[in-house]
Structure 1
Amino acid sequence: MSGQGRFPEPPVVIVGGLHADARRAAVARLLADVPGSVVLHHDLATATAGTVVRTVRDATGILAAGEAPLVNDCACCALREDLVPELVRLAEAGGTPLAVVELWDSVEPKAMAEVVTAGGFTVAGVITAVDPALVLPYLGNGDDLAEGGLAAAATDQRTVADTFARQLEYASVLALADSLPGSPEADEEDHELLAQLHPTARRVPIGHGNPAGAPHASPELARAALAGFDVEAAAAAQHPACALLPAEADAHGVATLVWHRRRPFHPERLYAALEDLTCAAARSRGRFWLAGKGDTLLHWDAAGGALCVESAGPWLASLPDAAWELVPPVRRAAAALDWHPEHGDRCQHLVFTSPGLDRDGLERLLESCLLTDAEYAAGQAAWDRLPPAFDTLLEV
């Protein structure tokens, strides 16, 4: 079934997040705000037994339940295969004003939003539900998902921190469930950290408890969720080459440093500083330029004391003019903003966000990793002869 099918399709809102209690509170709020809405949920906790349990429910309880077999030993793959057919059945049944897809703990919303869109449905909004008091602990948690029974496949090597960061930064709406039972009270620093990590997200307080029983439930979450979501733009905002990164900020004990420079890093000095740079902030991300690898845009992604560095394709300056027509307009626009007459779009653009950030010390450390004036003046041929300290890390 597609957008031209004979049955009217309900708009789809995706609700995800590792904070399960907050996620359930957000879903309950949507059920209260939009009478008649239906929630689809795939529980991946049973994946070790070879199946994924699917439930369909509304505000009154479970309407249907079933199982989907694993696909390629991957619970997330089973979810992808099963989700769109369930949405089709829901659309064919008619009468549903809103379909809420509640993701299991470690499932990331980006992949599911793209699956829903490819299936011909409209993603009206993506919500990540958050307990503000747990943001810093989760960003600092470098444990593998598998250690907590949260892996979505036997080969899943993600950590709690990097998964939570991606869930948080992709969503257009953050549903804030403060003062959940068993959770500490969130303070100004917790809320400021959220605001700086994802400044463009709409943050909607939802409280806790039983929203369905509230006599005057505020529809603010539903309004925010149904405001519209551009899956293609959201993907571009996460791509290292044109990522929509946070701006400079400093408030309530939390700071964001935006570090932008026009000369390459010395590979050995940067490599030696990686541990200190990774641990300098709760979250850091961006793109960088390494001397000796002038054609390759490198992606920096750190959370939980762990750093992922990988190639994100070529700098546009390294491509022939004819190839530019094949590059998406948003990518060309991002390159134009960074364009330098000599180096093109090659640059350092790294962003560090954390409570208690030592901005001066961090800037000094970053500056020390750049080529010196003499090394810079030596030119590209000399840069290419520098020791390839990153080759092992990049699996070159």
Structure 2
Amino acid sequence: MLHFRSELYNFATLLHNHKATFMNQKKMPVTVLSGFLGAGKTTLLNHILHHRHGLKVAVIVNDMSEVNVDARLVEGQHTLSRTEERLVEMSNGCICCTLREDLMVEVEKLAKENRFDYLLIESTGISEPVPVAQTFSFVDEQSGIDLSRWATIDCMVTVVDAYNFAADFGSLDTISGRSLSDGDDHRTIVNLLTDQIEFANVIILNKTDLVPHSRLKELHAIIHALNPGARIIESSFSKVEIREIVNTGLFDYGQAEQSAGWIRELEKVENGGHVPETDEYGISSFVFRDARPFHPKRFWDYIQQNWPAGIIRSKGLFWLASRASQALNWSQAGGSVRAESAGVWWASMPADQRRRYQAYIDNRDTIEARWGEFGDRVNELVLIGQDLNQQQILGELEACLCTPREIALMESGARFADPFPGL
């Protein structure tokens, strides 16, 4: 019996010590570096490692190539001490897709060692930042890994190439079209750039030495319109103050989800109206909102033939008389336009059916407060651009809406010519 008590005491002591170790372990802060290929992420990473002020830093470098060139560059700078830093290479994939599980395993492994002050993750140039951030609040059911126990994102940084930004943002090139991935990746460069900018806490406008001062200030205005809450830092050769991107305490996932300029514009309108302002570079934003459906042919022709070139970014929901039950997502950045299904409108369901959905129950007051002639159906587009003629654009969009006669035809079940692809 005494022997049993001794074993029990030893187990309890072991359990107590393990719990104490876990409780005393501080979550490892993480800075994620995003940015298109060639923007200067690896140069920034090396700069941080050269000026880490005594921090013990772990580094994860993600690259799409079979030989991880970025990792070789980092090692070549001789900044990784065998006793203070560790470099983890992640090749042949992308953090946001095939290597997400590997990322979780590596982060947990590094955090559990409890000897690093900080983790830097350099994602590949074609990686979207949102899935990377989601990884830190995602529990993998197979492995049981929960990164929120071990690490926390401190800052999401996007490096922007000031010299090539205009060409890339105005391009219709796709990832695979530029041979930037082995697979058939049809994402456009401009949409990737937009995603990286809209989700960042800090945007480093790099290669500023190659851009005239007037153009640089204009770039500031454009990027600020895309993400009004982000800090914009100018740099040459990615030289920035380390405290601007390390141990900042800036990242909050909920805030990051709402950081895009188009979301901020909607919030302004919903909170009592917004008087559009145009800055000195002609950057302005406004919202088109109307409950009436778009006529599919007129709206399609307007998009294809007369969409204003000055619109930098537009986002929102819309509906067509030809498919009254379907809610459609609208997303445009530069010359890239996407329309895709967002599900169905609540108004397309019988009342007793929609009231069985938890999403409807949770948001019923908001949904019903906006209920109108067409239920919750609405066209709501945020437009951000340069040198825009607001009244003219609003008038042109209004001309794409159905007339009272066309609405009556829609309600009687008439068919409309619809050039939009199946969504």
Give the TM-score of the pair, scaled to structure 2.
0.74
CA 1:108–1:333: 2 relative to 1, 3 Å: farther
- Cα separation, partners in 2 of 1:317 and 1:126, compared to 1, 3 Å: farther
Going from structure 1 to structure 2, the CA distance change for 1:301 and 1:16 (only over 3 Å counts) comes to: same
Aligned partner letter, 1:196? A
Q: Which amino acid aligns with 2:402?
A: L
State the distance in 2 between where 1:155 and 1:102 align.
Answer: 23
Per-residue deviation, residues 259-286 of structure 1 (Å, max 9, x unmatched): 1112111111111212222745222221
Report the equivalent of 2:319.
289
Aligned equivalent of 1:250:
278
Gaps of 5+ in 1: none
Partner of 2:190: 161
Stretches of structure 2 lacking an aligned partner (at least 5 in a row)? 1-18, 139-145, 269-275
Cα shift readout 1:151-181 (whole Å, capped 9, x = no counterpart): 3x5121111111111111122x132235445
Question: Deviations for 1:29-68, whole angstroms, at most 9, x for unmatched residues?
Answer: 655467323331111133xx8x898688799237555665
Say whether the 8 Å CA contact 1:278–1:284 is kept in structure 2.
no
Residue 176 (structure 1) aligned with residue 195 (structure 2): no
Select which of 312, 318, 338 maps to 2:342.
Answer: 312
Whole-angstrom CA distance in 1 between matches of 2:78 and 2:314 = 40
- Per-residue CA deviation, residues 180-225 of structure 1 (Å, 9 max, x unaligned), is 45455543221111111122x221415234748xxxx46233354x
3-state SS of paired residue (1:115)? helix
Distance 1:132 1:342, change over 3 A: same
Q: Aligned-pair distance for 1:109?
A: 0.5
How do residues 11-90 of structure 1 correspond to structure 2 at under 5 angstroms? 11-18=29-36, 20-24=38-42, 26-27=44-45, 31=49, 32=51, 35-46=55-66, 60-61=79-80, 63-64=85-86, 70=92, 77-90=97-110
Number of equivalent positions: 371
What is the letter of the counterpart of residue 313 of structure 2? R
Counterpart-to-counterpart distance in 2, 1:310 and 1:131: 30
Contact preservation (8 Å) 1:53, 1:67: no
The percentage of counterpart residues that share the same residue type is 24
Q: Tell me the secondary structure at the aligned position of residue 355 of structure 2.
A: helix
Normalised by the length of structure 1, the TM-score is 0.79
User: Computing the radius of gyration over CA atoms, which structure comes out larger, 1 or 2?
Assistant: 2
Q: Mark the CA change 1:8 to 1:114 in structure 2 (over 3 Å): closer, same or farther.
A: same
Of structures 1 and 2, the one scoring higher in RCO (CA 8 A, sep 6+) is: 1
Displacement of 1:327: 5.0
- 1:120 equivalent in structure 2: 147
**Any conservation in 2 of the 1:258–1:349 contact (CA below 8 Å)?**
yes
> CA 1:296–1:210 in structure 2 vs 1: closer, same or farther (change >3 Å)?
closer
1:99-118 counterparts in 2 under 5 A?
Answer: 99-118=119-138
Read off the aligned partner of 1:294 and give its amino acid letter: A
| Correspondence list, 1:263-274, <5 A | 263-274=292-303
Match of 1:300 in 2: 330
Distance 2:297 2:325 in 1: 18
Shift of 1:143: 0.6
Does the CA contact (< 8 Å) of 1:278 and 1:305 recur in 2? no
CA contact (8 A) 1:52 1:79 kept: no
In structure 2, how many angstroms separate the alpha carbons of the residues matched to 1:354 and 1:295?
31
In the other structure, the counterpart of 2:218 is 189
Q: 1:380 to 1:175 in 2, by over 3 A?
A: same
Tell me how far apart the structure 1 counterparts of residues 344 and 234 of structure 2 sit (CA, whole Å): 43
Q: For residues 97-122 of structure 1, what are the alpha-carbon distances to aligned partners after superposition, in whole Å with 9 as ceiling and x for unaligned?
A: 22121111010011111123214232
CA distance in 2, matches of 1:317, 1:14: 41
1:61 aligned counterpart, secondary structure: coil
Query: Is the Cα–Cα contact under 8 Å of residues 19 and 129 in structure 1 kept in the other structure?
Result: no
2:297 maps to 1:259: no
Name the residue aligned to 2:252: 229
Could you tell me how far apart the structure 1 residues matched to 2:235 and 2:91 are?
36
Report if the CA contact (8 A) 1:282-1:354 is conserved.
Answer: yes
2-side partners of 1:52 and 1:158: how far apart? 23
Aligned counterpart for 1:370 among listed residues 395, 401, 404: 401
CA–CA separation in structure 2 for the residues paired with 1:210 and 1:53: 15
Alignment-derived partner of residue 388 in structure 2: 357
Write the distance in 2 (CA, Å) between the matches of 1:362 and 1:244. Answer: 20
